Amino acid sequence: MIGYIVPHTIYPDGYHCTPELPLPFASIANQKNFIDFCHMGVYAQPEILKGFQVEYAERCRYKPDMGKSCVRFKRMDDIPYDLIGELMAKMTVDDWIGLYEKKSKKIILIMT
């Protein structure tokens, strides 16, 4: 799996569950039966998810096989590379850190 993270040099607090790890942002993995692409903004920001789903439906012939932040592609020829590029450009590192801090503080408050 290839992971794109926010390094500790930019966000020293790291991932709230395991602070010694950097903050995850996106990843891509080759699984046995599919290619898995994950983007944390899709999970954390409903507007990004909705926009992705609308664009996906317009550009792809199959319905998306999605988890909370992941999209699974069963066929290499069906990967909308341009849409993934647009998705990656929708959120800057600063946007992600701000959203993450806002959401993670709510999670921590609920857990305590």
In a domain, 14, yes or no: no
In a domain, 68, yes or no: yes
In a domain, 44, yes or no: yes
How many distinct structural domains can be found in the chain? 1
Q: Give the 3-state secondary structure of 74-103.
A: CCHHHCCHHHHHHHHHCCCHHHHHHHHHHH
Find tokens 């992705």 and name the residue. 52
Task: List per-residue pLDDT tens for the chain, 112 residues long.
Answer: 899 999 999 999 999 889 999 999 999 999 999 999 999 989 899 999 999 999 999 999 889 899 988 999 998 888 999 999 999 999 999 999 999 998 877 654 444 4
In a domain, 61, yes or no: yes
In a domain, 58, yes or no: yes
In a domain, 46, yes or no: yes
pLDDT of amino acid 78: 87
20 contacts 26 by C-beta, under 8 angstroms? no
For residue 41, give its domain range.
1-6+24-79
